[in-house]
């Protein structure tokens, strides 16, 4: 009989995908869970595993774009009962059928069974001995844990860290994993008490709604029968370990690549034994294979000197000294989003930058005079950010177009100042927001900056804390930048760039004096902000910073 292979649902907002590459040719014999194609959407790339053993018959050519649910291939010669098992475990399996995977019972997320090695056989390996899934121990069933919806525009997340090991006993509402999206990090609590079974490897990216784990009721499921050892002649990679780990999940020998990893290593000409696996029980994942580098060839033996000198020839170029190794790393979701947004801003706005400079001596004198008393009274230091935020809030009231946004054919003006502060976090640039900054005192601004920066360093910022700003301040000076043109943080219309403070000679009252000077840069969207408004805004900020008493009296 023939089994149709259809495009699975890969995300809420994804309605079509492109067949980026067929990894198996038409007419090839494939194994269950072996990756046969790579699918590409406008947001991510996915792997498509075979749903059963059989002969592949391709219906759709490589490079074509098709809708979700479309049949793209057939598997001929599929034995009865070999199709993917339904969510409910069968009462028994026929002797001729392959044993059902102890983890992948539901098949809601077929792509998750490849890289992590949680449900497939090694490529070319023999099927395990037939045995039905062991029923959970008396006292509870199995609860599937799926990735919850964490935000309107988020369609996939990465399993940043498992806080509970596979097979661990967990309590209801106990946090078992940290999930990371392109915007924030979330905690995943257990939905029931029982034994945790991972369905996705740490570091993998999966879609919203995909099964990430199962919780088996009571003390866990009874261990299934040991898997039969694969015949040595049939397996091109290391065989499965002879017995599964306690708890029911199959254990793979160290150095076994997943099907996708095996293909990549084959193309690179790298032996599996030369790659260190980071997957479960040391299994080699797709990422390990992508990062693997071929060992340099052994130097050829020196040839014996010729009896007679050969004819004169050009001198050989000297060999390059030092390391020539390269390293490839997958971009994080956060980095992908930042890259996409920055390119979009450059392409969709009429961005322009105007510059000015400010004498920081008055602010530095004021800080030196009051910083100790300020910290003693408020428990927080008096930094430059509170002065700049205050000055920006006052200038935004006087020039409201700088605080406005374009929404379609409308201009949206805000009578409040939600100031976004660019912070360099361990995983990339994040921009938390100080709400109603115009109403805060110097003390309130400094405390809020300290709180948000701490959350950013600990990767605990929420989407709400990074959304809805009306104007952004970024400080490249902390890294030594003297001058830059910052990119607008869309959908905002302007951003102020601070830079390092340099002692420079300037003219004051006809005399040359040395002062601590800082360059300021205001990038703005010329579609909504005219030159008069942008320059006047920046000049007003300069006036307030060079005479901070103006901020105290609102003049």
List the catalytic residue out of 26, 274, 365, 530: 530
| Average pLDDT of span 240-245 | 37
User: pLDDT category, 316, cuts 50, 70, 90?
Assistant: low
Sole residue written with tokens 């991972």:
198
Residue 441 lies in a domain: yes
Say whether pLDDT at 433 is over 80. Answer: yes
pLDDT in tens, 297-309: 555 555 444 444 4
Last residue in a domain, options 56, 84, 112: 84
Last residue in a domain, options 35, 55, 84: 84
CB 380, CB 449: distance < 8 Å: no
Last residue in a domain, options 19, 51, 84: 84
| Average pLDDT of span 336-361 | 90
Sole residue written with tokens 């921009």:
431
CATH of the domain at 28: 2.40.50.100
Q: Rounded CA gap, 156 and 449, in Å?
A: 30
Residue 491 lies in a domain: yes
Residue 207 lies in a domain: no
pLDDT in tens, 111-135: 443 444 444 444 444 444 444 343 4
526 among known catalytic residues: yes
Q: Rounded CA gap, 555 and 550, in Å?
A: 5
Residue 96 lies in a domain: no
SS3 content of the chain, % helix, strand, coil (to 5): 25, 25, 50
530 among known catalytic residues: yes
| Average pLDDT of span 162-167 | 90
How does strand 65-67 pair with strand 29-30?
unpaired
- Alpha-carbon Rg for the chain in angstroms: 31
Structure tokens at 3: 């089994």
Say whether pLDDT at 245 is over 80. Answer: no
Phi, psi of 364 (to 5 degrees): -65, -40
CB 166, CB 197: distance < 8 Å: yes
Please give the share of the chain, as a percent, with pLDDT higher than 90.
36
CATH of the domain at 509: 3.30.559.10
So what's the pLDDT on residue 320?
64
Highest mean pLDDT among 143-152, 156-165, 262-271, 522-531 belongs to 522-531
Residue 110 lies in a domain: no
Residue 189 lies in a domain: no
- Please give the sequence-ordered ranges of beta strands (E in DSSP) within 326-417, or none if there are none: 351-359, 405-407, 410-412
Return the axis-axis angle of helices 384-398 and 531-546, rounded to nearest 10°: 140
Residues 6+ apart with CB under 8 A from 403: 396, 413, 414, 417, 470, 471, 493, 494
* Cis amide leading into 491 (omega within 30): yes
So what's the pLDDT on residue 225?
38
Q: Rounded CA gap, 217 and 192, in Å?
A: 8
Domain that holds residue 67: 1-84
List the catalytic residue out of 173, 372, 458, 526: 526
Residue by residue, DSSP assigns 286-325 as HHHHHH--PPPPPPPPPPPPPSSPPPP-PPPPPPPPS---
Q: Rounded CA gap, 326 and 96, in Å?
A: 48
Structure tokens at 265: 């290593």
pLDDT in tens, 81-110: 554 544 333 333 333 334 334 333 344 444
CB 17, CB 66: distance < 8 Å: yes
Please tell me the total number of residues recorded for the chain in this structure.
555
Residue 155 lies in a domain: no
Structure tokens at 320: 């390059």
Residue 227 lies in a domain: no
Return the axis-axis angle of helices 531-546 and 361-378, rounded to nearest 10°: 70
Please tell me whether the overall predicted TM-score, pTM, comes out greater than 0.85 for this model: no
State the total domains in the chain.
Answer: 2
So what's the pLDDT on residue 319?
65
pLDDT in tens, 447-488: 999 999 889 888 888 888 988 999 999 999 988 999 999 999
Q: Rounded CA gap, 488 and 498, in Å?
A: 14
Strand partners of residue 544: none
């Amino acid at each position: 009989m023939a089994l149709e292979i259809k495009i699975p649902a890969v995300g809420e907002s994804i309605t079509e995908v492109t067949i980026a590459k067929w990894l198996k040719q038409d007419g090839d014999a494939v194994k269950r869970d072996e990756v046969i194609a790579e699918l590409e959407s406008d947001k991510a790339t996915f792997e498509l595993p075979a749903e059963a053993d059989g002969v592949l018959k391709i219906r759709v050519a490589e490079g074509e774009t098709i809708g979700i649910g479309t049949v793209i291939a057939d598997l001929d010669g599929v034995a009865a009962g070999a199709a993917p098992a339904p969510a409910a475990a069968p009462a028994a399996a026929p002797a001729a059928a392959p044993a059902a995977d102890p983890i992948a019972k539901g098949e809601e997320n077929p792509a998750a069974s490849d890289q992590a090695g949680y449900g497939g056989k090694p490529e070319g390996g023999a099927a395990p001995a037939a045995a039905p899934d062991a029923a959970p121990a008396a006292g509870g069933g199995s609860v599937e844990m799926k990735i919850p919806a964490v935000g309107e525009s988020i369609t996939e997340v990465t399993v940043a860290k498992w806080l509970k090991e596979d097979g661990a006993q967990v309590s209801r509402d106990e946090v078992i994993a940290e999930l990371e999206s392109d915007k924030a990090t979330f905690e995943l609590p257990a939905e029931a008490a029982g034994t945790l079974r991972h369905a996705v490897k740490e570091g993998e990216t999966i879609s919203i709604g995909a099964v990430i784990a199962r919780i088996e009721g009571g003390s866990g499921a009874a261990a299934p029968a040991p898997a039969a050892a694969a015949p040595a002649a049939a397996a091109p990679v290391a065989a499965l370990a002879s017995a599964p780990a306690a708890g029911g999940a199959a254990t793979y020998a160290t150095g076994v690549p997943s099907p996708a990893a095996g293909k990549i290593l084959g193309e690179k000409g790298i032996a599996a034994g030369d790659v260190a696996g980071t997957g479960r029980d040391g299994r080699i994942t797709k990422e390990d294979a992508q990062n693997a580098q071929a060992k340099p060839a052994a130097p050829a033996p020196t040839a014996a000197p010729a009896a007679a000198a050969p004819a004169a020839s050009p001198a050989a170029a000297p060999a390059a000294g030092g390391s020539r190794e390269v390293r490839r790393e997958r971009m994080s979701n956060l980095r992908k989003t930042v890259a996409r947004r920055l390119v979009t801003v450059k392409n969709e706005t009429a961005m322009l930058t105007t510059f000015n400079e400010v004498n920081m001596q008055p602010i530095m004198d004021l800080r030196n005079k009051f910083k100790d008393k300020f910290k003693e009274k408020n428990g927080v230091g008096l930094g430059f950010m509170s002065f700049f935020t205050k000055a920006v809030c006052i200038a935004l009231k006087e020039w409201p177009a700088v605080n406005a946004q374009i929404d379609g054919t409308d201009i949206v003006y805000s009578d409040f100042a939600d100031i976004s502060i660019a912070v360099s976090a361990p995983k990339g640039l994040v921009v938390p927001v100080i709400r109603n900054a115009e109403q805060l005192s110097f003390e309130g601004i400094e405390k809020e900056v300290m709180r948000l920066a701490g959350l950013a360093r600990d990767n605990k910022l929420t989407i709400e804390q990074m959304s809805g700003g009306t104007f952004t301040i970024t400080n490249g000076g902390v890294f030594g930048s003297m001058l830059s043109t910052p990119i607008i943080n869309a959908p905002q219309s302007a951003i102020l760039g601070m830079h390092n403070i340099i002692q420079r000679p300037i003219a004051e009252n006809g005399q040359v004096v040395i002062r601590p000077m800082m360059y300021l840069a205001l990038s703005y969207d010329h579609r909504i902000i005219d030159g008069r408004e942008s320059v006047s805004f920046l000049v007003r900020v300069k006036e307030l910073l060079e005479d901070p008493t103006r901020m105290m009296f609102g003049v």
